[in-house]
Each structure stands twice: as C-alpha cells, then as structure tokens.
Amino acid sequence: MISASAIAVGIVALLPLGYLVLRAFERGTGVVRQFLVREHTLDLVLRSVGLTVAVTLTCLVIGVLTAWLVVRSDLPGRRWFGVLFTLPLAVPSYVAGFTWISELPGLAGFSGAYLVLTLVSYPYVLLPVMAALRAGDPALEEVSRSLGKGSVSTFFLVTLRQIRPAALAGALLVALYVLSDFGAVSLMRYDALTTAIYTSYRASFDRTPAAVLGCVLVLLAVVITIGERRARGIAANFGQARVGGGTARTAGATPLGAARPPALIGSVALLLAALGVPVYSLVRWLVTGASAGVDPSRLVVATLTTVQVAGLGALLTVLFALPVAALAARHPGPLARRVELASFAGHALPGITVGLALVFLGVRVLYPLYQETPMLVFGYAVLFLPLAVGVVRNAIAAAPVRLEEVSRSLGAGRMATRVRVTIPLAAPGVAAGIALVFLTCAKELPATLMLRPTGSNTLATELWTMTDAGMYGAAAPYAVVLIVVAAIPSLVLGNALRGSQGDNGGAR
C-alpha cells in the first residue's frame, strides 16, 4: 500500500521532466546537441553552479551557527532570536531582491544574487539543525569534554557530526532553491540557467532551448541530490551510540564567554540584513508612493485566496509526501531511493517550466479541471513535494520504531499503536511540513499565473501586477500582507521543530 502510493507520487513528480524531454527533443536530437554544446550554455551552467555552491556553503555556516547559538549557547535573548531567525523564510526572493537593489543598486551581479539568496534561504538549514541539536544526546559531548577536549574542538569533533544529516538535508533544499530561483537572479541581473530559460520563452517564443536548459537543470539537481544522499548515508549512523535503555537529557547551555559580544552583534546584523532591509524599504514605498491608494476589499480577497490555495496546496503536498517519506524512513532500499530521487528532480525547475508542463497535462488530460483551483493545488504539490518529503521523512525516522514495538508487546493492537504512539510522535513533523509548504505556495508566482482560475488573484500575483506596472507604492501593502501571511507558518514551523523534537527525541 505504502509502496504503491509512493510509486504513484513518484510518477506524478516526474511529469514536468517528461514534458521537458518531449519539448526538448521535438525537433530532433541535432537541435538539442546544437543548444547543448554552445559555449553560452556551458557558461550558464558554470554561473548557476557557482552561485549555488557559494550560497549553499554560506547557508550551511550561517544556519549551523545560528542554530547552535539559539539551542546550545547562553546568547542573551536566544528565544527571541530563535523566532526571528526563522522569519526570513517568509520573504519572497523577488521582494528581498527588489528591496536590496533599490536601496543599494551597486549590488547588481553575483554579489547581490549571492547576498539575497543567502539571506532568504539560510533558514532551510537552521530549522532542521535546530531540531537535531535539541534531539541530540549531550552524553557524547560530555564524553568528549571529559577526555580533555575543549568546547570548540568538541563542537567540531562531536556536535557537528551529530547534526550533519540534518544540515545536509537543509543544504540540499537551499541548493535546489538557488538553482530554480528566478526572482533574485533576474533582479540582480545575474545570468543563470533560469534567466536564460525565461529569456528564451519571452524573446523567441521557442520552447526547445528552454526545454534543453531545463533538462540541464534537472541533471544538476539529480547530481546534487545523489551527492547529498551519499554524504548523509555516511553520516547517518553516527550519534546512535547509546546502547540499550536510558533517556538523553536536554543539553545545557555552553557559555559563550568572550565570544558573546561578537555573537550578539553578528545575530543582530543578520536580522537587519534579512528582515530590516526589506521592511525598511517597504515602509518607504508605502510612505512615498503617490500610487499608494489601496483597495482594501481587493487586498482582503487576495489574502483569502492566497490562504485558500496555499492551504490546500500544503495539505495535498503533505498527503503526497507521506507515502514517500514513510517508505524512505521505514523501508530504505532501491525503491525508496528511486522514488525519493524522483520527488526531488522537478524541484530545481523554474516555475514557468513546471507551469507549462501542467498546462500541457491539464488541457489534454484533466481539461475540466484546467485553470480551476484543484489544478493549481495539484501544481503546488508537484512543485513543492521535496520540501514536505524532507521534513516528514525526518519526523517519521525520529519516531523510534522500538516504541511501536513496545506498544505492541504490551498488547495494544496495530490501530491503537498508530493512534497512541506513532501519530503523536510524527504529527509535529507533519505539521511542520504543512507549514513549510504553505508559506512556499503563498510566495509562488509563475505557475500560479498560468494555473489560477481566470480572474482570481493571490497576493503574489497582485504584487506582480503592481510592480510590473511600476506602482511600487500600491504594491507595498500586498508585499507586507504576503510576508505576514507567510510569517505565521514560519513561526509555527520554528515552534513545532523546537518543541517536538526536544520532548520526544530523548526516547531513543
């Protein structure tokens, strides 16, 4: 049952790729080769890879450091920092990009794209690492300390290895996000594979080069996903050292000592860059734009629509993710690996490509649903499946099988065990998955433009309409509400991952 539904989900996730291959090869392999071997294509690949590597590494450092500061250090106000650090997830890359370029135009190019993408995507690393740090067994670190290692070398020798799988899972999401991002790179005028795909659709109305470049993106995504799995596989068994019974305690706070002031300054600087700049810029638009007259009913309708489609999208995505995640967490093997890989393949594609793939599918197969809400929701599920798979897989994996076995051995039936043991253990992770997909759906633009019901608007499409017309003052309220709508689930997310894993993680 789980395998069958997981395979079905894997096939759904591969739809955009199938469409791409069809469009890439519709004029024969010669044309494909012609586009592939151009110097320009290689250049684009290098630029995309360069940006992805730089942003991912920086996010790893920032994400791990901030998670450690929030969970394990005595940083003043660390609870507040824990909440605020997750909030940049709520800022769409095109809003962050626009506000930065309008405040500091000199940033255009690699540095701007690098800065903006790092600031909006480091929480993808922060969140799982925060959870892993809460769940981690401090006994190993104590052993290290008792053997004469200082706190710095203990961090590198023990803690870092414990959180490695979580950090890598987060890094994978960052890498795929950067590869598929169009908003920040186009605003920062950094030519990458995604900008080339858009230019190709916009300028030549020629689908072939766009599809060929899309295939290249998918290939890069597959390489990255396999690489992450290799690295995670090696690391996975470390930290499971506790033999037999006993419960891990919650780790105590490590004193920062002399590092306290720089840690505090660094944290504040990060927040100013990631949240302060966009908020400042939006407020300035609101105040100065003469076009700032906003239609409140329109804003309310767009907000409700956003909540509806993003909410349905999040539920459906997690529904799709459950069998894949359960398979990956409970029955690892070749099938699980393939299905999981399939679910990640489409994530590196820009929204316009997935959008057109769904248009292709919609008009041919699902016509009565085409450009109706269910089709849009289905599109979100295809786009954001990997986000949910990652979070839910970790939640199920963290719920110890042994507790289920104990429940069964004490005479509880299958059903009773599920209801009383597994669900409470995995539920916070499932909720976190829903929250993460919700906020990502709310920010999505290109696929929403193509698949939304004719005449209905989300906050993201309204924002696009206003900024496209150069009406920044009128756009600002939509940007603010969008950030607020996306911030609520990111708060839930922080709490779910902090609370749940801390309470249950010890029962290993």
Partner 1 sequence: MTRTIFRRLVAATLAASMLLPGLSACGSSDALVIYSGRNEALVGPLLADLKKEIGTEVEVRYGGSAELAAQLREEGEAGNTDADVFYSQDAGALGALSEAGMLEKLPKSDLDEVEKRFQADDGTWVGTSARARVVAYDSEKVSAKELPSDVDELLDPKWKGKVGYAPTNGSWQAFVTALRVLKGEDGAKKWLTEFKANEPQSYENNVAILDAVNDGQVPLGLINHYYFFRKAKEVGADKLRVKLHYVGGDDPLALVNVAGVGVLKGTDKQEAARKAVAFLLSKRAQQYFADETAEYPVRDGVKSTEHDLPKLSGIQSPDIDLTKLSSLEQTLKLLQEVGLS
Tell which positions 326-355 bind partner 1, by CB under 8 A: 326, 352, 355
Q: Check binding of 206 to partner 1 (CB under 8 A).
A: yes
Strand runs (DSSP E) across 385-504, as ranges?
Answer: none
What minimum distance in Å lies between the beta carbon of 299 and partner 1? 14
Contact 388, 433 (CB under 8 A): yes
What minimum distance in Å lies between the beta carbon of 465 and partner 1? 5
> In the set 219, 253, 265, 469, which binds partner 1 (CB under 8 A)?
469
What character string, x for contact with partner 1 (CB under 8 A) and - otherwise, covers 442-461? ----x--xx--xxxx----x
Report the alpha-carbon distance of residue 213 to residue 189 in Å, rounded: 18
What minimum distance in Å lies between the beta carbon of 503 and partner 1? 19
For the stretch 192-201, contacts whose Cβ atoms lie closer than 8 Å and that sit 24 or more positions apart, written own/partner, are 192/44, 192/47, 192/48, 192/51, 192/113, 193/44, 193/45, 193/47, 193/48, 193/217, 193/220, 194/48, 194/350, 196/40, 196/44, 197/350, 197/352, 197/353, 198/350, 198/352, 201/352
CB nearer to partner 1: pick between 81 and 378: 378
What minimum distance in Å lies between the beta carbon of 19 and partner 1? 9
What minimum distance in Å lies between the beta carbon of 161 and partner 1? 29
CB nearer to partner 1: pick between 35 and 85: 35
What minimum distance in Å lies between the beta carbon of 272 and partner 1? 23
What character string, x for contact with partner 1 (CB under 8 A) and - otherwise, covers 215-244? ------------------------------
Question: Residue 240 burial (CB < 10 Å; 0-12/13-18/19+)?
Answer: exposed
Question: Residue 369 burial (CB < 10 Å; 0-12/13-18/19+)?
Answer: middle
What minimum distance in Å lies between the beta carbon of 55 and partner 1? 20
CB nearer to partner 1: pick between 169 and 381: 381
Instruction: Tell me, by CB under 8 A, how many residues bind partner 1.
Output: 80
Contact 93, 120 (CB under 8 A): yes
Binding to partner 1 (CB under 8 A) within 402-431 occurs at 404, 415, 417-419, 422-423, 426-427, 430
> In the set 159, 200, 254, 394, which binds partner 1 (CB under 8 A)?
200
Which among 121-129, 141-149, 263-271, 289-297 is the span making contact with partner 1, rule CB under 8 A? 289-297
3-state SS, one letter per residue, for 307-322? HHHHHHHHHHHHHHHH
> In the set 203, 243, 258, 410, which binds partner 1 (CB under 8 A)?
203
Which among 81-89, 161-169, 230-238, 317-325 is the span making contact with partner 1, rule CB under 8 A? 317-325
The residue among 78, 85, 232, 72 whose CA lies nearest residue 142 is: 72
CB nearer to partner 1: pick between 36 and 57: 36
> In the set 204, 240, 247, 250, which binds partner 1 (CB under 8 A)?
204
> In the set 318, 389, 436, 476, which binds partner 1 (CB under 8 A)?
318
> In the set 465, 495, 503, 507, which binds partner 1 (CB under 8 A)?
465
Binding to partner 1 (CB under 8 A) within 44-103 occurs at 101-102
Q: Which residues pair with 73 in a beta bridge?
A: 254
Cα–Cα distances (Å) from 372 to 25, 303, 366, 367, 439, in that order, read 30, 18, 10, 10, 21
Q: Check binding of 323 to partner 1 (CB under 8 A).
A: yes
Which residues fall within 8 angstroms of residue 47, CB to CB, at 6 or more apart? 190, 191, 192, 193
> In the set 331, 363, 413, 499, which binds partner 1 (CB under 8 A)?
363
Rg (CA), the chain: 23
Report the alpha-carbon distance of residue 328 to residue 236 in Å, rounded: 13
* CA 132 distance to own-chain centroid: 17
Binding to partner 1 (CB under 8 A) within 134-193 occurs at 186-187, 189
What minimum distance in Å lies between the beta carbon of 5 and partner 1? 8
CB nearer to partner 1: pick between 141 and 404: 404
Contact 66, 125 (CB under 8 A): no
DSSP structure class, residue 471: -
Q: Check binding of 374 to partner 1 (CB under 8 A).
A: yes
> In the set 396, 397, 441, 487, which binds partner 1 (CB under 8 A)?
396
Which among 151-159, 274-282, 283-291, 485-493 is the span making contact with partner 1, rule CB under 8 A? 283-291
Helices first, then strands: H and E counts in the chain: 26, 0
Maximum pairwise Cα distance, the chain = 71
CB nearer to partner 1: pick between 261 and 468: 468
DSSP string covering 53-90? HHHHHHHHHHHHHHHHHHHHB--TTHHHHHHHHHGGGG
Binding to partner 1 (CB under 8 A) within 104-133 occurs at 105
What minimum distance in Å lies between the beta carbon of 188 and partner 1? 9
Report the alpha-carbon distance of residue 463 to residue 486 in Å, rounded: 14
Contact 110, 49 (CB under 8 A): no
What character string, x for contact with partner 1 (CB under 8 A) and - otherwise, covers 292-311? ------------xx--x--x
> In the set 3, 34, 151, 373, which binds partner 1 (CB under 8 A)?
373
Contact 404, 461 (CB under 8 A): no
